[in-house]
Structure 1
Amino acid sequence: MVVADSVMLAAEPESEAEPESRTGRTRRLSPHIGVVPTASMVTGAALATVWFWVPLVILIVGISAIPSGIGFVLAAVVFTYLMRGVDRVERVRSEAVFGLAIPVPPRRLSHYTGIQGWLHQLWLDISSSRFWKGCAHHYLRMIYDMAATGLAFLLTAIAVLGPAAAIAVDGSAAAAGLKFLPPPLAWLLAVIALAAAVAVLVFAPALDVRIDRWLLSPSSTAVLQHQVNALADARQGAVSSAQTERHRIERDLHDSVQPRLVSLAMTIGLAQTKLDTDLPAARNLIDEAHNDAKQALAELRNVVRGIAPTILSDRGLDAALSSVVQRAETSGVPTTLDLYLPRRLPDEVEAVAYFVVAEALTNVAKHAHANQAVVTVRLDETAGQLHVSVFDDGRGGAAYPVDGIDNPDATGLRGLEERVRAAGGTFAVSSPATGPTIVTAVVPCAS
């Protein structure tokens, strides 16, 4: 059935698939009546006679291999990936054959990476109602298609063999004493059986449509639970982001600005004691204090820049990113900016994009030893998403966490992930040991 569904993807004529609101023409046929739905059902039923047993055998082998452990895991992995692929094919088939745009149920994704993330995602998939509804849909459709096609085949066989048997028996009835339907009645029943077979083939796909809508559509409970989980995740990301930002500010003030101000106060105090006794020394101390004050201001600007850059609110994301790229180039890393922003975005979205680029380029300058970097920021107005990507050709090793274990040197990246999560977006880092490193973020934004 899976193979048959994929074969029928492009076969539906536009006159039967396009509604009036999209083509300007009145639809003459119901979407479940036509050659394509019938051919899909018949071909699927034929292939299902073999395919029906394949997932079942894998599932049974997996259950029987529970004591061995490894065999159970392998069977579970094969069965899970097989049925996930079947679910995708079924949705494509439903869209191609019946023109149904059934929304995809939400899928919970693991926040872990590496082998731990893979195992966790496997468990999330196999324990979800979406997975088992897809399995139930696939088998219910196979059973129904085989039953409907088998009934049509039986009726067709009766229509073909009935009259032939009646004629044969009628010719030898006197010699052998056989009795059967009279040929006229056999012909009448053959016509009825053939008409019934055609009716089954034409109208049976109507129930296929109902099965698709029933089991492929997400339930309201699942959608609501997904929204609740997304809001909880965004809230946790906002809390973590605020804590990370507070710790960063405390650390920067304690490690840079505070010692500088303490030194400034001590220098000014020494200068005061020298004013009456050693004026040249007092002047030198005042010059030193002046330099300390300028350095403290510069360090304070760096701290404030991590909170709310003025250029971002005044001139927008394009000007702010241009400034970040210029600073990266002065640090010795040639950087290219590819920007597509046809309009201003919400303040939160612009701030997230700015911090992703700024932190990523800071890491490039400090750790990557890269020859070049490329910043790509593009607004997808159709999907309502802002795509941010920072690429460098330097050494890698910036991925986090590794096999579910946090990298203590990747606190900046964790902070970025929390910022993006707080905005309802997704964040990813690809950084093999030999490079290159790609930092990507996708942030939803209001249209």
Structure 2
Amino acid sequence: MTTNPTSLTPPPQGRTPGSAAPAAAPAAADDAAKRPFRILLTALELAALGALGTAVFATLTAMLGVGLGLTFVFGIGLLVLVGLVYALYGVAWFEVRRVADLYGEDLPDLRLRPRLRPGFGGWVRSIGRQSIDGRMWRAMLNFVLGCIAGTLVLRLLWGVVWSAVIAFAPLRAEGEMEGPFGAVMPVGWAPVVGILGVLAAAAGIVGLALLHRLLSRTLVVPSREAELSAQVRTTSAQRAGAVRAAELERTRIERDLHDGVQPRLVSVGMTLGLAQQKIDTDPTAAKELIGEAHTSTKAAITELRQLARGIHTSVLDDRGLDAALSALGGRSHIPVQLDVRLDAGMTGAGARCRDAEAAVYFAIAESLTNAAKHSRASECRVVVRSRDGALWARVEDNGMGGAQVQPGGGLDGIANRVLAAGGTFRLESPAGGPTSLEVTVPCAS
């Protein structure tokens, strides 16, 4: 999860900081006007939780009991416990969305913990991390407390109805009648008792709604300190990823220059030196040497052009990600099936996500290079989509698999470049294939 930094701007010229108070007054008045409606909506949601949430909680408890009881019966209980983890996640996700919509909070959706390693072992570890996710359990605690409060709200609602009926008792009865807690009272007191009962029950409902608001903001809504801490951790991780990606890119450029272009240019210089020595004594041999040097020079220019393309792609800036990936697929040594579908808002000249596009482009380029060099794949498929203000890409080949992120390798460079852009990276490459790489980069530019 990434959090946008808070923008601090000085007050406009000619105004003092205190002049912002009148502008904030309408917002406060609007919030005060909506408060009774939100209390009523909270009470209704608590009543729904009291009626339905209890059944959900009972189901989850039963799954836990069955899972623990059948753990040693052919491992059936383990499957039930895995289902319980996903069920808890679903209920917690619902609770986060409910609180966010009810109180107008901008809360990020609860997400499943991603797999950090490929294969079945990585999936098991992700289930283990999900089962101890603190945010999920806080949402579950809020759900349970909401169910308890909802049960009380239902009883208080019945108290309102009963008190209202008591208030009109003199219209249909005389003498004495049964009052609250089984006490006998004169019918003449019924209106007073009924009105007091309605007021007390309504006050209890309002109190439970306010208590639920307080608990929800404490358990589900992150505090300002937590948001700042998460923002600092995210920024630190992005900075470390950017530094690491730049270091790996510099190392790659040095390696390509040292192993490719530099020896070829040295060879060109030596060839021209030999041609210079033979130009008077053996013009034919000198001409052949010059031709060889000319061929080597063109090859060096091609290598330099490819190296420059690996640093900066002009097609990406000029024509966008779709055109750049089409050119990349055309240069690939193995056939590439390209499927790029971007929203119109992310392809306009003024609305493009250049940093995200660059990160996705170089991730795909490195993936195709690795597939051509190591995977023995016969084809690759590249899918790119725009999802919720982010670019998502998946590269899959039919090679032999077994790819791993090695320090200093190409996949390490992809991971750090994507991390620096605030995105996520996932690699799945079981032995025998296929290999798939997914990246998601938010559009922040």
TM-score norm. by structure 2 comes to: 0.69
Q: Is 1:423 aligned to residue 417 of structure 2?
A: no
Instruction: Please name the residue that 2:5 is paired with.
Output: none
- Say if 1:160 and 1:419 are closer, same or farther in 2 by CA, change over 3 A: same
Q: Distance in 1 between matches of 2:66 and 2:416?
A: 42
Assess if the C-alpha contact under 8 Å between 1:167 and 1:183 holds in 2.
Answer: yes
- Say if 1:228 and 1:124 are closer, same or farther in 2 by CA, change over 3 A: farther
Q: Is 1:184 aligned to residue 191 of structure 2?
A: no
Q: Is 1:92 aligned to residue 97 of structure 2?
A: yes
Assess if the C-alpha contact under 8 Å between 1:48 and 1:146 holds in 2.
Answer: no
- Say if 1:99 and 1:73 are closer, same or farther in 2 by CA, change over 3 A: same
Residue 218 of structure 1 aligns to a residue in which SS?
coil
1:250-265 to structure 2, matched below 5 A, reads 250-265=254-269
Q: Which runs of 5+ in 1 are unaligned?
A: 1-19, 172-178
> How many pairs were matched up?
403
Q: Distance in 2 between matches of 1:214 and 1:191?
A: 35
Residue from 301, 304, 320 that aligns with 2:305: 301
Q: Is 1:271 aligned to residue 269 of structure 2?
A: no
Residue from 115, 129, 137 that aligns with 1:132: 137
Assess if the C-alpha contact under 8 Å between 1:321 and 1:357 holds in 2.
Answer: no
Letter in 2 for 1:31: F
1:39-118 to structure 2, matched below 5 A, reads 39-59=44-64, 74=79, 76-95=81-100, 98-104=102-108, 109=114, 111-118=116-123
Q: Which runs of 5+ in 2 are unaligned?
A: 1-25, 178-182
Task: Map Cα deviations across residues 98-119 of structure 1 (whole Å, 9 max, x no partner).
Answer: 3533523886755434334333
Identity value in percent: 30
Residue 94 of structure 1 aligns to a residue in which SS?
helix
Instruction: Please name the residue that 2:292 is paired with.
Output: 288
Residue 445 of structure 1 aligns to a residue in which SS?
coil
Letter in 1 for 2:135: R
Instruction: Please name the residue that 2:151 is paired with.
Output: 146
1:235-250 to structure 2, matched below 5 A, reads 235-250=239-254
Residue 181 of structure 1 aligns to a residue in which SS?
strand
Assess if the C-alpha contact under 8 Å between 2:353 and 2:443 holds in 1.
Answer: no
- Say if 1:423 and 1:329 are closer, same or farther in 2 by CA, change over 3 A: same
Instruction: Please name the residue that 2:37 is paired with.
Output: 31
Assess if the C-alpha contact under 8 Å between 2:383 and 2:393 holds in 1.
Answer: yes
Residue 422 of structure 2 aligns to a residue in which SS?
coil
Q: Distance in 2 between matches of 1:109 and 1:128?
A: 12
Task: Map Cα deviations across residues 225-261 of structure 1 (whole Å, 9 max, x no partner).
Answer: 3223323332342243234323433442344324423
Letter in 2 for 1:32: R
Assess if the C-alpha contact under 8 Å between 2:153 and 2:205 holds in 1.
Answer: yes
Distance apart, 1:29 and its partner CA: 6.1
Distance apart, 1:199 and its partner CA: 4.7
Residue 212 of structure 1 aligns to a residue in which SS?
helix
Task: Map Cα deviations across residues 196-222 of structure 1 (whole Å, 9 max, x no partner).
Answer: 335544664333333322221013343
TM-score norm. by structure 1 comes to: 0.69
Assess if the C-alpha contact under 8 Å between 2:39 and 2:210 holds in 1.
Answer: yes
Distance apart, 1:137 and its partner CA: 0.8
Letter in 2 for 1:237: G
Instruction: Please name the residue that 2:326 is paired with.
Output: 325
Q: Distance in 2 between matches of 1:28 and 1:362?
A: 58
Q: Is 1:341 aligned to residue 342 of structure 2?
A: no
- Say if 1:90 and 1:354 are closer, same or farther in 2 by CA, change over 3 A: closer
Distance apart, 1:127 and its partner CA: 3.0
- Say if 1:129 and 1:303 are closer, same or farther in 2 by CA, change over 3 A: same
Q: Distance in 2 between matches of 1:25 and 1:138?
A: 25
Q: Distance in 2 between matches of 1:320 and 1:160?
A: 70
Q: Distance in 2 between matches of 1:251 and 1:122?
A: 41
Q: Distance in 1 between matches of 2:144 and 2:159?
A: 22
Instruction: Please name the residue that 1:444 is paired with.
Output: 443
Instruction: Please name the residue that 1:352 is paired with.
Output: 359
